């Protein structure tokens, strides 16, 4: 039954391709797209009655078949995917006006790929579905009419393919040494060897690149900022969670080298702080949110590095809600005010958007009782010594960044048009969901801690503003030409090679 969550969006994507070929988009595209987007909800609700469960597609043996399932590990990944995709799909109905059949088909391919990756219990099937989602993502970034969007899509393509080749290579090593691709069979028959350890390092590096985690973040800011608004929400909200699920699958299957886990912890904090610094320096609201994703993915990797499976699951879920909500909210402002510049955007006169953005900003800052507070508290319980202080400092930095964003959005500016009611409603719903799930999970009210964190963040904001830090202008490192693109890709490919070697060396010495 759960396999239909993947099969039906694929089927509807095929139908959309057909109607696009016969120029029937206007009549059939939207109904088919909404059906393909929402029907997986039905099969998830049916499957919940018998969860947890596993099934082999086609009735084959576990050794030769494709195993899928629903359990405590992937339930919230699936729920996040369905919530975020549903919101983005409804947003897309008004957003896309040209070639809708083709665009909707690509969106449903992404939908199917993400669901497939989250229900997979073997590494090769997971890889296939992750690639379906990735290929759709490249194309959806490239269809944007934004200047340099195709360059951003090309960079995304090149580095994602590099990650894919490495990941399938790592899977090949694991298969050669164990004889299995099924995660449970590998776990039951596993004997750790040097080759397996090397394969795990390669797999983690490739998934870190796919997830856009520092220092392998270089494709993410442009792709997420240049993509159409609903696609940005999908990319930051849920597409980057597919490699995270792969890391979790590896972590739960193998005994990961202690040196590698410590290296992942260092990388995680580096990504958190790097993203915060770059957020503070951004004037483009979508780039600010994109660098926020670089930072927030660090929190998820941190959870993994301290063996907090619950931290990975709940923070991935929380981030999916508030980050997609923030991108949809920013998109509503951008669509009506025709600018991405924070100094030209405002939510004054848009009370629903103002409440939504403020609430989502509190959620991402870990303020109770929003879901971000609950998830961050899980991570905090797994930290000791000076790591705890780094975590608190990072949280203040995140709040400071979003205080900056709200400071500019709260300023009155001349606005000629209001945001669409649908966009505002979707943003508000996403904010309510972050609050509702926080209360449902039992997030503790930490009034003193929250007030203290916000107070310190406000002081830091005032200091940074006083010294004109927000006026610092970041200039592109490379020219926006064919030569510049080639130089940029070569530079970052070289950086990737260096990081790759460092990972291999430090994981074993």
Q: Which two tokens stand for residue 114?
A: 């993400």
* Lowest mean pLDDT segment, chosen from 14-18, 187-191, 286-290: 187-191
Give burial (CB, 10 Å; 0-12/13-18/19+) of 497: exposed
Q: What angle do CA 117, 40, 314 make, to 5 degrees?
A: 55
Q: Which two tokens stand for residue 334?
A: 């951008």
Model pLDDT for residues 242-297, shown as the tens digit of each residue: 999 999 999 999 988 888 999 999 999 999 999 999 999 999 999 999 999 999 99
Maximum C-alpha span of the chain: 67
pLDDT at 505 over 70: yes
Torsion angle, alpha carbons of 11, 181, 320, 363, to 10:
160
State the Cα–Cα distance between residues 396 and 382, nearest whole angstrom. 19
Q: What is the pTM of this model?
A: 0.96
Cβ partners under 8 Å of residue 233, min gap 6: 84, 87, 88, 91, 323, 324, 325, 327, 328, 331
Between strands 66-70 and 53-57, the pairing is: antiparallel
Model pLDDT for residues 388-398, shown as the tens digit of each residue: 999 999 999 99
Q: What angle do CA 44, 48, 51 make, to 5 degrees?
A: 125
Helix axis angle, 194-211 to 258-280, nearest 10°: 10
Give burial (CB, 10 Å; 0-12/13-18/19+) of 98: exposed
Model pLDDT for residues 442-491, shown as the tens digit of each residue: 988 999 999 999 999 999 999 999 999 999 988 888 877 788 888 999 99
**Do 179 and 260 touch, CB atoms closer than 8 A?**
no
Model pLDDT for residues 123-147, shown as the tens digit of each residue: 999 999 999 999 999 999 999 888 8
Neighbours of 210 (CB within 10 A): 27
Taking residues 353-376, report their average pLDDT: 96
**Do 440 and 374 touch, CB atoms closer than 8 A?**
no
Query: Cα–chain-centroid distance for residue 203?
Result: 18
Q: Check residue 476 and give its pLDDT.
A: 80
């Amino acid at each position: 039954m759960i396999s239909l969550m993947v099969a039906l969006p694929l089927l509807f994507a095929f139908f959309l391709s057909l109607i696009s070929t016969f120029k029937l988009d206007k009549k059939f595209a939207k109904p088919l797209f909404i059906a393909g987007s929402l029907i997986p909800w039905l099969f998830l609700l049916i499957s919940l009655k018998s969860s947890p469960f596993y099934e082999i597609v086609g009735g084959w043996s576990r050794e030769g078949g494709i195993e899928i399932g629903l359990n405590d590990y992937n339930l919230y990944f699936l729920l996040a995917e369905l919530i975020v995709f549903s919101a983005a799909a409804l947003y897309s109905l008004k957003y896309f006006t040209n070639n809708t059949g083709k665009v909707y088909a690509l969106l449903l391919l992404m939908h199917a790929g993400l669901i497939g990756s989250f229900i997979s219990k073997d590494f090769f099937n997971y890889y296939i579905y992750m690639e379906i989602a990735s290929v759709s993502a490249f194309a959806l970034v490239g269809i944007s009419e934004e200047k340099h969007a195709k360059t951003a899509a090309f960079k995304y393509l090149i580095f994602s393919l590099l990650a894919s080749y490495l990941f399938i290579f790592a899977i090949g090593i694991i298969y050669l040494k164990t004889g299995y691709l099924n995660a449970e069979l590998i776990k039951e028959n596993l004997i750790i060897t040097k080759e397996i350890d090397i394969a795990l390092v390669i797999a983690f590096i490739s998934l870190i690149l796919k997830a856009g985690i520092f220092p392998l973040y270089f494709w993410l800011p442009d792709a997420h900022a240049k993509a159409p608004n609903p696609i940005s929400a999908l990319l930051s909200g849920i597409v980057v969670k597919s490699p995270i699920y792969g890391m979790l699958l590896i972590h739960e299957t193998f005994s990961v080298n202690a040196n590698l886990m410590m290296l992942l912890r260092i990388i995680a904090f580096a990504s958190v702080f790097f993203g915060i610094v770059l957020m503070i320096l951004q004037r483009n609201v979508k780039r600010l949110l994109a660098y926020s994703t670089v930072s927030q993915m660090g929190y998820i990797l941190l959870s993994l590095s301290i063996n907090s499976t619950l931290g990975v699951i709940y923070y991935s879920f929380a981030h999916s809600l508030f980050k997609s909500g923030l991108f949809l909210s920013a998109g509503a402002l951008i669509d009506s005010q025709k600018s991405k510049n924070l100094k030209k955007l405002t939510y004054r006169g848009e009370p629903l958007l103002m409440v939504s953005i403020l609430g989502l900003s509190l959620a991402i800052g870990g303020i109770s009782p929003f879901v971000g507070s609950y998830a961050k508290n899980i991570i905090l319980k797994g930290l000791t010594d000076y790591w705890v202080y780094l975590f608190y400092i990072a949280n203040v930095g995140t709040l400071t960044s979003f205080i900056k964003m709200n400071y500019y959005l709260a300023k009155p500016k001349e606005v000629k048009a209001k945001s669409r009611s649908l966009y505002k409603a979707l943003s508000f719903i996403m904010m309510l969901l972050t609050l509702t799930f926080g209360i449902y999970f039992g997030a503790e009210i930490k009034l003193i801690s929250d007030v203290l964190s916000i107070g310190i963040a406000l002081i830091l904001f005032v200091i940074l503003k006083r010294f004109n830090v927000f006026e610092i202008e970041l200039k592109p490192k490379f020219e926006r030409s064919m030569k510049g693109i080639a130089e940029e890709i070569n530079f970052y490919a070289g950086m990737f090679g260096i990081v790759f070697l460092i990972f291999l060396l430090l994981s074993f010495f």
